[in-house]
């Protein structure tokens, strides 16, 4: 069965520091991978997605993610974190034929220190 693991429940970084949020997936074929962000009281906003091609994908708000097939990973990165980035981040996977069925990790809560 497909699964998504986000090993870090909570991460705190200083404003201006770099950020990397980890995501590992379990799936036999090439998955379709996503990162979403959820602020308190808000729905999920899509940050970026990977379907195929270039393994480094750029998203909104200065985020990027790299797909590494050999490590079954899709880690999210940002070179310089802003206080407004404090939120919960979810990695998700989907597959052809089940496009509407996203499988999510449990999320990583990001706190930003001034």
Kindly state the helix (H) or strand (E) to which residue 113 belongs, with its residue range. strand 108-113
d(CA 72, CA 64): 17
**90: which 2 tokens?**
């979810």
Which CB atom, from 28 or from 41, has the smaller least distance to other proteins? Answer: 41
| Nearest distance, CB of residue 102 and other proteins, angstroms | 6
Q: Which residues bind other proteins (CB under 8 A)?
A: 4, 32, 36, 41-46, 49, 51, 90, 92, 94, 98-107
Q: Cβ 35 to other proteins, closest distance in Å?
A: 12
User: In the complex, what is the shortest distance from the CB of residue 87 to other proteins, in angstroms, rounded to a whole number?
Assistant: 14
Please, which residue, 105 or 110, has the CB nearer to other proteins? 105
31: phi then psi, degrees, rounded to nearest 5: -85, 170
């Amino acid at each position: 069965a497909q699964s998504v693991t986000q090993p870090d429940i909570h991460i705190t970084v200083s404003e201006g520091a770099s950020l990397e949020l980890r995501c590992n997936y379990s799936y036999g074929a090439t998955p379709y991978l996503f990162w979403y962000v959820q602020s308190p009281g808000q729905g999920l906003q899509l940050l970026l997605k990977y379907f195929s091609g270039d393994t480094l994908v750029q998203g909104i708000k200065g985020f990027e993610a790299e797909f590494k097939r050999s490590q079954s990973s899709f880690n999210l990165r940002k070179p310089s974190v802003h206080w407004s980035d404090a939120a919960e981040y979810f990695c998700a996977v989907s597959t052809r034929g089940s496009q509407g069925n996203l499988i999510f990790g449990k999320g990583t809560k990001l706190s930003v220190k001034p």
